[in-house]
Amino acid sequence: MTETLPVTDRSRLRRLHERGHFDRATINSILDAQPMCSVGYIIDGKPFVTPTLQWREGNHVYWHGSSASRALRNSRDAQVCLSVAILDGFVLARSGMHHSVNSRSVTLFGTASKVEDPAEKLDKLGRFVNGLFPGRYEGLRPDHAQDLKATMVLGMEISEGSAKMRTGGPVDEEEDYDLPIWAGVIPVHTSVGKPIPDPRNIKDVPMPDHVRSFRL
Amino acid sequence: MTETLPVTDRSRLRRLHERGHFDRATINSILDAQPMCSVGYIIDGKPFVTPTLQWREGNHVYWHGSSASRALRNSRDAQVCLSVAILDGFVLARSGMHHSVNSRSVTLFGTASKVEDPAEKLDKLGRFVNGLFPGRYEGLRPDHAQDLKATMVLGMEISEGSAKMRTGGPVDEEEDYDLPIWAGVIPVHTSVGKPIPDPRNIKDVPMPDHVRSFRL
């Protein structure tokens, strides 16, 4: 921080660190950084949240599951809220009030639509696998027709929503900076471990590049 | 897997890996492993999901925010769904259908209540800080009365909900195990980086143990 603001202006100071973003590039970068998401929907007037994986294609976000899933059946053609949140660190300040987290999140609102066309559904699922593991889908045993039938893909246009980010160190009251209290940030990362081959892999099947070089 | 089941029994096979859990110990261990959560609630008949931090005290789970927050004002005395989800790995199978993730999740339902008593609220906030950073709260500059007023703590009894876990390797169709396709698990971990002291810390203030030994 190069600015010094009076204490009464601290809400403005905090806004320099924590801002809402409505530009598509910021929203896309957060969606693309973390496939895990939470989908909120309503059943019988009660809120439900289901964790699932999302993937993005241009202006749309998709998720999938069993055609029998209560979550999917109740999200289809209904209002949903899709949330992605990434924890980047704990922010330790000089008072409890100013403790915070560094994070990136996106919240999207819209009506979820089922991808009806079987060829389009297959294409979406292939892009989901290849989005995480480039080139993998073409090397897999093709999906059985009955398995595809048992899978529902929902999609939603990215049109209503926003991103939120907080970065940087603690923002304390000016008079608290003289206190002998350690303040700072504990960064949090998501990391990928060494791949564990299935013991039933056939002998000498090589580990593909999309596994060896996988990063989140 | 030591069992071999006929293909028609594969739903049973899958259940060995992915199960619902209703015992409190499993639910508690997942809540205690990950403070990040998603709270689902309803405004004007539409679902909303807000990422926030939760902490547990016995049979209750708590979260907090600004008293002015639309999320909190609309969750108070209302039905909410609180979800914690931890991604433990990507499970790569021999067909697209059997790709999965290893994960732990908890979904709780209930009515959120505001912690009204100021002393109780202070106690809850102190336990929140100390739950993450043991002993930190007592060393902080005490919260100002107006800051406490501006903070709302919501709580909910842990009474309705469940946990879900998936562990282990891919579960493929028996006839697919002969295919020359690499299958296995890419583990995902959350790790904590080197703490970054605030450049405005006073000279020689030591890094406390609750920072140095912090783990998620």
Instruction: State whether B185 and A195 contact (CB < 8 Å).
Output: yes
For residues B214 and B133, the answer to whether their CB atoms sit within 8 Å is yes
Whether residue B1 lies inside any domain: the answer is no
Question: Which pLDDT belongs to residue A18?
Answer: 61
pLDDT digits (tens, 9 = 90+) for A26-78: 999 999 999 999 999 999 999 999 999 999 999 999 999 999 999 999 999 99
* Rounded Cα distance, A164 and A86, in Å: 10
Whether residue A120 lies inside any domain: the answer is yes
Q: Are strands B79-92 and B100-111 parallel, antiparallel or unpaired?
A: antiparallel
The domain of B68 spans 10-170+189-212
Question: Which pLDDT belongs to residue B22?
Answer: 79
Instruction: State whether A49 and B36 contact (CB < 8 Å).
Output: no
Whether residue A157 lies inside any domain: the answer is yes
Question: Which pLDDT belongs to residue B21?
Answer: 78
B55 touches chain A (CB under 8 A): no
Question: Which pLDDT belongs to residue A76?
Answer: 95
Question: In sequence order, which residues have a C-beta less than 8 Å from that of residue B188 and are 6 or more positions away?
Answer: A190, A191, A192, A193, A216, B87, B88, B89, B90
Tokens of A215: 């990063």
Tokens of B170: 């891919």
Chain B residues in contact with A151 by the CB 8 A cut-off are 97
Whether residue A67 lies inside any domain: the answer is yes
Question: Which pLDDT belongs to residue A136?
Answer: 98
Nearest to A141 by CA among B120, B99, B40, B85: B99
3-state secondary structure of B147: helix
Tens of pLDDT along chain A (216 residues) come to 223 333 333 444 444 456 777 889 999 999 999 999 999 999 999 999 999 999 999 999 999 999 999 999 999 999 999 999 999 999 999 999 999 999 999 999 999 999 999 999 999 999 999 999 999 999 999 999 999 999 999 999 999 999 999 999 999 999 999 999 999 999 999 999 999 999 999 999 999 999 999 998
Instruction: State whether A183 and B206 contact (CB < 8 Å).
Output: no
Nearest CA in chain B to A46: B79
**For residue B105, with 0-12 CB atoms within 10 Å meaning exposed, 13-18 middle and 19 or more buried, which class applies?**
buried
* Rounded Cα distance, A170 and A177, in Å: 10
Return the CATH number at B15. 2.30.110.10
Question: Which pLDDT belongs to residue B78?
Answer: 96
Q: Which helix (H) or strand (E) holds B209?
A: helix B209-212
Nearest to B133 by CA among A189, A187, A90, A170: A90
Q: Which residues of chain B have pLDDT under 70?
A: 1-18
Instruction: State whether B191 and A192 contact (CB < 8 Å).
Output: no
Find the distance separating the first CA and the last CA of chain A, reported in whole Å: 30
Q: How many residues does chain B have?
A: 216
How many CB atoms neighbour CB A168 within 10 A? 16
Among B13, B38, B167, B190, which would you mutate to test the A interface (most chain A Cβ atoms within 10 Å of its Cβ)? B38
Separation in Å, CA of B116 to nearest CA in chain A: 18
Instruction: State whether B186 and A105 contact (CB < 8 Å).
Output: no
Torsion-angle region of residue A184: left (phi > 0), alpha (psi -120 to 50) or beta?
left
Q: How many residues does chain A have?
A: 216
A68 touches chain B (CB under 8 A): no
> How high is the ipTM of this complex?
0.91
Domain count, chain B: 1
Instruction: State whether A184 and B198 contact (CB < 8 Å).
Output: yes
Question: Which pLDDT belongs to residue A5?
Answer: 30
A86 touches chain B (CB under 8 A): no
Question: Which pLDDT belongs to residue A17?
Answer: 53
Whether residue B48 lies inside any domain: the answer is yes
Whether residue B16 lies inside any domain: the answer is yes
Chain B residues in contact with A178 by the CB 8 A cut-off are 202
* Rounded Cα distance, B27 and B22, in Å: 7
Whether residue B2 lies inside any domain: the answer is no
Chain A residues in contact with B111 by the CB 8 A cut-off are none
SS (HEC) of chain A: CCCCCCHHHHHHHHHHHEEEECCHHHHHHHHHHCCEEEEEEEECCEEEEEEEEEEEECCEEEEEEECCCHHHHHHECCEEEEEEEEEEEEEECCEHHHCEEEEEEEEEEEEEEECCCHHHHHHHHHHHHHHHCCCCHHHCECCCHHHHHCEEEEEEECCEEEEEEECCCCCCCHHHCCCCCCCEEEEEEEEECCCEECCCCCCCCCCCHHHHCCCC
Instruction: State whether B187 and A202 contact (CB < 8 Å).
Output: no
Question: Which pLDDT belongs to residue B32?
Answer: 97
Instruction: State whether B137 and A96 contact (CB < 8 Å).
Output: yes
pLDDT digits (tens, 9 = 90+) for B137-179: 999 999 999 999 999 999 999 999 999 999 999 999 999 999 9
